[in-house]
Amino acid sequence: AFVVARVCLPYASRAKTFEGAMRAARDMDFRRPAADRTPLEDWASEVEMISRDGRWRLRIEEGTVEDDGVAAYVVTCGVSSNLVGSRELGRMARLVVGRNPLWSQTPGAPWRWERRTPRPDEYAIHIDVTEGPDRRAVLAARGVYY
């Protein structure tokens, strides 16, 4: 939950840049995988980092996608672990969101929270927990900018 609050949400809300999110993750002892010795490209749009003990993964990415027929710039920061499932990640998300009136749970989606923004036609921020077949559960903070 601390990583989501200190790295992912500031990145999703654009309070931290891509590089700033990586620095914040490094400050929390996240590193690039030991086998990955390739330097990051100057214009890298995604990076995956692991915790020092190897239990947690952090993926930071940005790029343009099409959302309901409109081009949107999306920044995503996701946390996952091979030891924690979607239920535990959902609890972590609830800790981050707490009883803050700016966050609301999406109807019909028990693992998704939307943040009320002053200009919803310009940007949206949400947290969701996803889990797919043959994939580990991910708690992600995502900022969508139209």
Domain spans in the chain, listed from the N-terminal domain onward = 2-145
- Token readout for 89 is 């990640």
- Token readout for 110 is 């028990």
Does this model's pTM top 0.95? My answer is no
Could you tell me which residues are beta bridge partners of residue 125? 115, 143
Mean pLDDT of the chain: 90
Chain position carrying tokens 């952090």: 58
Whether the pLDDT of residue 69 is over 70: the answer is yes
* Model pLDDT for residues 71-94, shown as the tens digit of each residue: 999 999 999 998 999 999 999 999
**Which pLDDT value is given to residue 126?**
95
